[in-house]
Each structure stands twice: as structure tokens, then as C-alpha cells.
Amino acid sequence: MDLTVFGMVFIAAFLHAVWNALVKIQGDRLVVMALISGSSGLVCLAALPIVGFPEPEAWPYIFLALVLHNAYYLFLVVAYRHGDLSHVYPIARGSAPLAVALISVGLLDETLTRNGMVAVSFIGLGLISLALSRDRRGSFNIRPYAYALGTGLFIALYTVVDGIGARAAGNPHAYTFWLFAIDGLPLPLLVLVLKKRETLKVVKENWRIGLPAGIIALVATWIVIWAMTLAPIAYVSALRETSIVFAVIIGVVFLKERLDIRRLIAIGCAMFGAFLLKAGK
């Protein structure tokens, strides 16, 4: 992977961790997601005259990505109802690059090197193992893991669709901004209909956090979509998910969370995969 692309995606991974840390705020998770989605959409709407239009071939991918993005939002909320963030999130994000690799090799004309496949595997398995770094209490419940894996599948699907769509658009910037301008509508409208009182309360209390979080989330995704027009989708997807490592570091440094030896090994595994990805040809 080109050094510039590698560095930009690494920055995107860091930004992804930052906005996830920012949304550790009080309130309904679905409403918080709607606030972030709506904020991103408003920024993109204002930028549409600047970025122009994507090629007509990109529009089917934009609308398919719209469906997949919103299905991901809803599926993730359900997953969090059945499992903790520390278990659901690493499994969802860690399984995604493995699924993207299988899809891109099986359905697209992308060829991954042996080093590349090893790197993707190290990153995915390292991130998934973060979910096992805390002892579970009580009887085993398969539902959180099933929903987390389902969420990971939606992440993989919209990643591949975004990669193909951005390439078809002829302009990854136009693709990204039109996608998120439209994507910023469904979820806010849904929560306004279902939870008007909760929505207004959360927006009033948290807009100072939600607005910058939405902008940071947009920039992180913008970088990733741009990168997928220049590098194999599987590689970009795997590197993006190192955001979980940054999230753990933020939690340890700023939130005083515990870092045990198992988490340290998992982080080392994921970061080794990231640097192997850069070194691989």
C-alpha cells in the first residue's frame, strides 16, 4: 500500500476512535446515532455545489449503500441491547475486514498478496480477541455474538459497495458527500417520529458534542472512501478497523480503563498486522 494512502487511512482510524469516544454521552443510543448522522448530512448538503455530481453509474451504489448504512445503524443498536460495548464492538469491527477480504477476492477482481492476507487476518483476529479480554459473568449468551457478527457483515457489505461506488463515480468526493447528504435524513426522521421527546432532549443537551462528532465521523469515512479508489478495498478496510486499538488507548489514557496482558497482546497482534500490511507488496 502506498505510504500516503497508508498514513491517511491510519489517520482516519484515529478519527474514528475519537468520534466514538466523543459519543460516550448520556441518552438513547439510537438518538445519539441520529444526531451524528444528521450532523454529517447537514455538512455534506452544504458542500454539494462544490463537489459536483458523481457519474450516473454510481447512483445505484449510493442508494444500496444508503440501505446498508441504515441497516447497520439499527442492527448495531439491537446488538448493544443484548451485549456490552466491549464485546459487541470489537467482534463487529474485527470480523468486518475478514468478510471484506473474502468478498473482494471472491466477487471482485482484486488480488491480495500472501502477506496481505496474513496482515488482514492478524488485524481481524487481534481485534476480535479484544472482546475476550474481560471475563464474562454468568451463563454464556450467544445472542450478543450473533448480533455482533451480523453487524460486522453489514459493515463488510457497505464497505465493498462504497468502494465500488466511489470508483464508478469517477470522483470519490462527490460520491461521499452525496451519499451522506442523503444518508443524514432517514435515521433522524425515524427517531423524530418514534421518540420526539427523547430526541429533542438529547439534541438540546448534547449538540455541542454531537455536531463535532458528526464532522469527525464524516472526515474519517471520506478518507476511507477516497483510499478505496487507490488501494485494495480489503487492505483499506483492515487498516481502518485499527480504530479499535486507538479507542482502547484513549480509554486507558483518558478514561483510566484497565489494560491487562490479554488486551495488550490483542493490540500488539492488530498493530503487527497493520505494519505487515504496509510492508507487504
CB contact set of 173 (below 8 Å; sequence gap of 6+): 51, 222, 226
Query: What is the per-residue pLDDT for 2?
Result: 85
For residue 132, what is the DSSP state? G
CB contact set of 136 (below 8 Å; sequence gap of 6+): none
Query: What is the per-residue pLDDT for 236?
Result: 92
Cell 466523543 belongs to residue: 22
Rounded Cα distance, 70 and 201, in Å: 22
Query: What is the per-residue pLDDT for 224?
Result: 96
Rounded Cα distance, 59 and 2, in Å: 29
CB contact set of 172 (below 8 Å; sequence gap of 6+): 166, 225, 226, 228, 229
Query: What is the per-residue pLDDT for 172?
Result: 96
Q: What CA–CA distances, in Å, run from 23 to 35, 175, 176, 217, 229?
A: 10, 26, 22, 11, 29
Q: What is the CA radius of gyration of the chain?
A: 18
Query: What is the per-residue pLDDT for 223?
Result: 97
Distance in angstroms between the alpha carbons of the first and the last residue of the chain: 7
Find the helix packing angle between 196-227 and 233-240, rounded to 10°.
Answer: 130
Please, what are the averages of pLDDT over each run of 10 residues along the chain (281 residues)?
89 87 65 86 94 95 94 80 69 82 78 81 80 52 77 91 95 96 90 80 79 91 96 89 80 71 79 74 49
DSSP letters spanning 228-249 = TTTS-HHHHHHHHTTHHHHHHH
Strand (E) positions, 6-99?
A: none
Rounded Cα distance, 132 and 262, in Å: 8
- Whole-structure pTM value: 0.85
* Domain parsing of the chain, residue ranges: 3-279
Query: What is the per-residue pLDDT for 41?
Result: 94
